[in-house]
């Protein structure tokens, strides 16, 4: 109990400074990395949970024909840690506000893992802002979660929450980051995603590892069947391949897809 008390004290008094590569939005500051700033066309990359903009530090420079913004979403990395809703629907609105502040009319949206859920929600709510949708090892339909049940997944995360967030040293990262990680799933309703996918018309590339043991390959196949204008491509490797620095194959597949779409 004493350790949990100190965890609560950390949460209430913890604060951090924001770097220069940040932008103030209505709910707080978003921090981002920018690659290839001389390019006109834009990619916005959304990380996994747990994760941060650094998820893309080896992949983004290889997307050479595009200016790439890799964002720390609320609750992660260096961005604001204290908001009322960390779920994918709310984070999709954050992305829309970021684009408005940056005067970006449309972009290619890449969503990795949990960020794929944000990308799906964004493409559904703001189709006019999506040039192409790229789901990279993406979460999605509720059935793809470990229990397949919304109720059981919420119970599982809720029971783990106090131990992960408030117990010092229980998980890597600051207490605010641990809160964002847990709340990103607790505040998300994946039951909505199946219907959203079936209504998205944006050109979509689904990239998934053929050895992914976090989100199995059949989930990507189901996403492809639901997305009307989609292409499914498997790459060699598992769920965290982009985090290991071996991104050449993934970059080649993304670049090839985007070049083909620009020609067409």
Q: What is the CATH number of the domain that holds 128?
A: 3.40.50.1820
The two structure tokens encoding residue 23? 């932008």
The answer as to whether 82 is a domain residue is yes
The answer as to whether 145 is a domain residue is yes
For residue 192, the enclosing domain spans 2-11+33-263
Strand arrangement of the beta sheet that strand 67-72 belongs to: 22-25, 28-35, 67-72, 42-46, 107-112, 130-136, 204-209, 230-235
CB 67, CB 39: distance < 8 Å: yes
From first to last of its 264 residues, the chain has per-residue pLDDT tens of: 544 444 554 545 444 566 779 999 999 999 999 999 999 999 999 999 999 999 999 999 999 999 999 999 999 999 999 999 999 999 999 999 999 999 999 999 999 999 999 999 999 999 999 999 999 999 999 999 999 999 999 999 999 999 888 886 666 678 888 999 999 999 999 999 999 999 999 999 999 999 999 999 999 999 999 999 999 999 999 999 999 988 999 999 999 999 987 765
Q: What is the pLDDT of residue 11?
A: 47
Q: What is the pLDDT of residue 245?
A: 85
* Dihedrals phi, psi of 132, to nearest 5 degrees: -150, 155
103 Rama sector, left if φ>0, alpha if ψ -120 to 50, beta otherwise: left
Whether this prediction's pTM lies above 0.85 is answered by: yes
The answer as to whether 19 is a domain residue is no
The answer as to whether 17 is a domain residue is no
Kindly list the distances between the CA atom of residue 252 and the CA atoms of 64, 70, 178, 191, 241, in Å, as whole numbers in the listed order. Answer: 11, 18, 33, 33, 14
The answer as to whether 40 is a domain residue is yes
Can you list the alpha helix ranges (DSSP code H) found in 67-186? Answer: 88-101, 114-125, 150-166, 175-186
The two structure tokens encoding residue 146? 């470990």
The answer as to whether 7 is a domain residue is yes
Q: What is the pLDDT of residue 223?
A: 98
Separation between Cα atoms, residue 16 and residue 13, nearest integer Å: 10
The answer as to whether 126 is a domain residue is yes
Q: How many domains does the chain have?
A: 1
The answer as to whether 23 is a domain residue is no
């Amino acid at each position: 109990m004493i350790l949990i008390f100190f965890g609560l004290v950390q949460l209430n008094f913890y604060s951090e400074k924001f770097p220069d590569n940040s932008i103030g939005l209505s709910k707080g500051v978003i921090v981002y990395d920018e690659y290839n700033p001389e390019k006109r066309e834009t990619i916005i990359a959304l990380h996994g949970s747990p994760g941060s903009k650094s998820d893309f530090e080896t992949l983004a420079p290889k997307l050479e024909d595009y200016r790439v913004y890799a964002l720390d979403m609320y609750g992660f990395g260096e961005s604001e840690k204290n908001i009322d809703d960390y779920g994918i629907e709310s984070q999709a609105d954050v992305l829309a506000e970021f684009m408005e502040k940056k005067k970006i009319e449309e972009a290619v949206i890449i969503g990795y893992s949990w960020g794929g859920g944000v990308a799906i929600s964004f493409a559904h709510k703001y189709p006019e802002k999506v040039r192409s949708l790229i789901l990279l090892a993406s979460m999605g339909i509720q059935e793809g979660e470990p229990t397949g049940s919304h109720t059981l997944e919420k119970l599982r995360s809720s029971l783990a929450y106090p131990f992960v967030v408030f117990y010092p040293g229980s998980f890597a990262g600051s207490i605010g980051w641990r809160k964002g990680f847990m709340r990103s799933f607790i505040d998300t309703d994946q039951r909505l995603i199946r219907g959203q996918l079936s209504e998205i018309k944006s050109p979509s590339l689904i990239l998934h590892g053929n050895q992914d043991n976090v989100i199995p390959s059949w989930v990507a196949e189901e996403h492809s069947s639901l997305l009307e204008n989609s292409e499914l491509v498997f790459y060699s490797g598992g769920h965290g391949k982009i985090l290991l620095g071996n991104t050449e194959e993934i970059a080649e597949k993304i670049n090839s897809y985007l070049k083909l779409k620009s020609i067409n």
